[in-house]
Structure 1
């Protein structure tokens, strides 16, 4: 189960997110559901179509158990397999 304390150890596919800070001001406020994730990118389904955004250049807001948490992209810019604990 995803919680505020362990979100960075989980897969993000299927979660809703919003960019709250970015080196690219044009993407601040972009929100939608994460469709796919690679080591360095999220593919987000927005109301205006699908966008691929670099994880490390933005801060991402997620709502877990009715609590908002902001995660710095640099902290999650790993392959999902590595972040989830697939390597011993």
Structure 2
């Protein structure tokens, strides 16, 4: 089960996310459901279509157990199976 404490060691596909900080101001506020994940990218289904966004240059907000969790993209720039066992 994904919790606020172990989110970085899980796969993100299916979760809703929002970019809250970025090196590209144009993507701040972009939100939607993650439909694919690679080592360095999230593919997000947004209201304006499907977008592929680099993980490392953004801070991502997820709502887990009714709590907002902010994850620095540089902490999750690995393939999902390589993050297993990583600590939050």
Q: 2-side partners of 1:43 and 1:83: how far apart?
A: 18
Q: 1-side partners of 2:44 and 2:5: how far apart?
A: 23
- How many residue pairs were aligned? 85
Which TM-score applies when normalising by structure 1? 0.95
Deviating 4+ runs (over 3 angstroms) = none
User: Paired residue for 2:76?
Assistant: 76
Cα distance, 1:81 vs structure 2: 1.2
User: Paired residue for 1:46?
Assistant: 46
Q: Supply the RMSD in Å over aligned alpha carbons.
A: 0.6
Which TM-score applies when normalising by structure 2? 0.95
* Structure with greater contact order relative to length (CA < 8 Å, sep ≥ 6): 2
Unaligned runs of 5+ in 2: none
Q: Deviations over 1:9-62 (max 9, x none)?
A: 000000000000000000000000000000000000001100000000000000
Unaligned runs of 5+ in 1: none
